[in-house]
Amino acid sequence: MEITTNLANDLRVILRSATWLWPEVTLAAGLVVLLLTDLVMRKKRGGLFVGMLLLTVLTSGYFLLQQWDLLSVDESLPRFLNTLLVDRLAVYLKLLFSFALFFVGLMSLRTYSGSQQIGFERLDRIGEYYIMLLGVALGASLMVSTTHLLTIYLAIELVSLSSYVLANFNFDRKSAEASMKYVLYGSAASGLMLYGMSLLYGLTGTLLLTETAFLEGLQAAPPLLSSLAIGLTISGFLFKISAVPFHVWVPDIYEGVPTPVAAFFSVVPKIAGVGLLLRVAPVLFFSTPYFPGEWLLGLIAMVTMIAGNVAALHQTNAKRMLAYSSIAHSGFLLAGVLVAKGWGLYNVLFYATVYLVMNLAAFWLIKLLGERTKSYQIADYRGLGLRFPALGIAMLLVMIALTGLPPTAGFTAKLFIFSALWDAYQQTLEPQLLYVFVVGLFNTVISLFYYLKIPYYLFFKNTPDRTESTISTSPTYSSQFSGKFGTFLLIIPLLLLFFKADWLLAIISQIISVP
């Protein structure tokens, strides 16, 4: 009788919880509708699928804004028997995913228009393409809404499985090779993470990281065994944000996939992984006895910065360069997680927001350059800044922002991270914080040399002899409009948030109160 009563009560709790999952339900429903449409349509129309995707994203965004208004600062609502969590932190990150999905949808539509585009041209696969994009977004939304080990694993796997399919959407040999590497590395990281989670459950007797029994179980466990369990578990998180040593798959994937997919991979799974770390780090890294979590996180952040920036120096392919750049930015995001307490959380979210806009802008402009040269080799961009000055100036601003120089929001974002590191060091005098601070400054200088490589070729290298068939100089009106609209949509925030950073900080300050 007691079991029946508890079961009935659990079912009532689950049904009441469902009202807070409308954003995820909308994404899942859109995925199903796209799947059915793709099955019944014989002649694929890219515009129809993009329209359905954008409608799904806008509807999900509407529900997210409603949740933002309904939730108060510091309010956290455990749902589905504590397997999911609804708070303003989750809502804010989901809004970032919605913006990224919206923009990548528009970016993908441009890929299918015109005969001079480079990238995938398999219109018969367009339905599957947008279905997988929604799958990644749905998994990312679940990742930032949980502290439950089972839900964490399922969410990460949903992101991974959808990403494996997207990685092969160029349908050529290089894309197939990249997809296979992605599957192999992802499977290895997933296996390690699952084994670590099983050890954590065996040591604590619970899957919920926020329960008191979880921390008590880790404290009572042998230090070596608990450290091994935590280390294996975080391997899956590090894979998602492409941190060292789980980063070697990134350049091949970014080079082999369509440019919109590379842009999507560079922001959504990475920020979802950071959001997940913001939830689990206080337990796994900062509260577990005998486990040097802060030292380990700081070491990974420093090595990731160095590995990404040093490798990017020698790249001649723009997409591979941005791939290593994204690895380096993962190091900065991890440095932010290291000091994500109180106001430090605002700095991490500010950096994540600006990083999302910067990377989308970088891949967008790389795609526009690729349309004109039919190449992603940086050397092929010689002289295009003088021939297309608006495009060249926009690329210069984005590269300056990625470096972290004024007058762009990239400077403000890095300034906030460095300020948080310095303030934390002054308060605690922990040497690893100073090491991360110094290494971060050093790597910012290194990044200047490869980020400005593209503007250098655009403006200071002579234009090689090319035929008009090699460079597209007269795109269609719709192509011109979409190019200018996308550039404007991303460049303006990078400039505006340098002068008005308090606008974004005012929104972020509504997520959690700081005593």
* Strand, coil or helix: 181: helix
> Mean per-residue pLDDT for 171-178?
78
**Highest mean pLDDT out of 327-331, 425-429, 465-469, 481-485:** 327-331
Reply yes or no on whether the pLDDT at 427 is more than 80. yes
The yes-or-no verdict on residue 484 having pLDDT over 80 is: no
Q: How far is CA 112 from the centre of its chain?
A: 24
pLDDT confidence band for 126 (50 / 70 / 90): confident
Would the pLDDT of 246 be above 50? yes
Q: What's phi and psi for 395, nearest 5 deg? A: -65, -40
Higher-scoring residue by pLDDT: 86, 42: 86
Report which listed range, 38-52, 111-125, 190-204, is most confident.
190-204
Show me where the domains of the chain are located: 19-189+252-286, 293-515
Are the C-beta atoms of 130 and 52 separated by less than 8 Å?
yes
Name the token pair of 331: 């190091």
Give pTM, 2 decimals: 0.90
The three-class DSSP label of residue 64 is helix
As a whole number of angstroms, the distance between CA 364 and CA 32 comes to 28
Tokens of 53: 């995707």
What angle, rounded to 10 degrees, do the helices at 259-284 and 88-112 form? 170
Q: State the Cα–Cα distance between residues 104 and 166, nearest whole angstrom.
A: 13
**Residue range 441-479, pLDDT digits in tens:** 999 999 998 999 999 898 887 765 554 445 554 444 345
DSSP for 390-448? HHHHHHHHHHHHHHT-TTSHHHHHHHHHHHHHHHHHHHH--HHHHHHHHHHHHHHHHHH
Mean pLDDT value across the chain: 83
Q: What pLDDT does 401 receive?
A: 92
Is it true that the peptide bond before 78 is cis, omega within 30 degrees of 0? no
Higher pLDDT, 349 or 113: 349
Contact by Cβ (8 Å): 510, 88: yes
Return the percentage of the chain with pLDDT > 70, whole number.
87
Output 8 or 316, whichever has higher pLDDT: 316
Say what the pLDDT of residue 282 is: 84
Q: Are 271 and 137 in contact (CB under 8 A)?
A: no
Q: Is 70 exceeded by the pLDDT of residue 218?
A: yes
**pLDDT at site 128:** 83
Distance CA 208, CA 150 (A): 9
Tell me, what's the pLDDT at 414? 92
**SS3 (DSSP) at 370:** helix
Q: Which pLDDT tens digit goes with each residue over 61-92?
A: 999 998 888 887 766 666 777 778 888 888 99
pLDDT tens-digit readout, 290-305:
778 888 889 999 999 9
Q: Is the pLDDT of residue 169 over 60?
A: yes
**Residue 292 has what pLDDT?**
83
* Helix/strand/coil for 253: helix
pLDDT digits (tens, 9 = 90+) for 306-363: 999 999 998 889 999 999 999 999 999 999 888 887 677 888 999 999 999 999 999 9
At CB < 8 A and 24+ separation, what contacts does 383-388 make? 383/458, 383/461, 383/462, 383/463, 383/464, 384/458, 384/463, 384/471, 385/455, 385/458, 385/459, 386/458, 386/459, 386/463, 387/463, 387/471, 387/473
The mean pLDDT of 110-115, rounded to a whole number, is 48
* Per-residue model confidence (pLDDT) at position 291: 78
- Which DSSP string corresponds to 272-331? HHHHHHHHHHHHHTTS-TT--HHHHHHHHHHHHHHHHHHHHTT--BHHHHHHHHHHHHHH
The pLDDT assigned to 122 comes to 54
Query: Where is pLDDT greater, at 288 or 425?
Result: 425
pLDDT recorded at residue 8: 66
Report the range of poorest mean pLDDT among 161-165, 338-342, 437-441: 338-342
Mean pLDDT of 89-104: 92
205 pLDDT higher than 50: yes
Please state the rounded mean pLDDT for residues 255-268.
88
Q: What are phi and psi of 77, to 5 degrees?
A: -110, 105
The helix (H) or strand (E) run that includes residue 56 is helix 46-70
CA-to-CA separations, 49 to 44, 112, 122, in angstroms, rounded: 8, 12, 14
% of the chain residues with pLDDT over 90: 29
Amino acid at 50: V
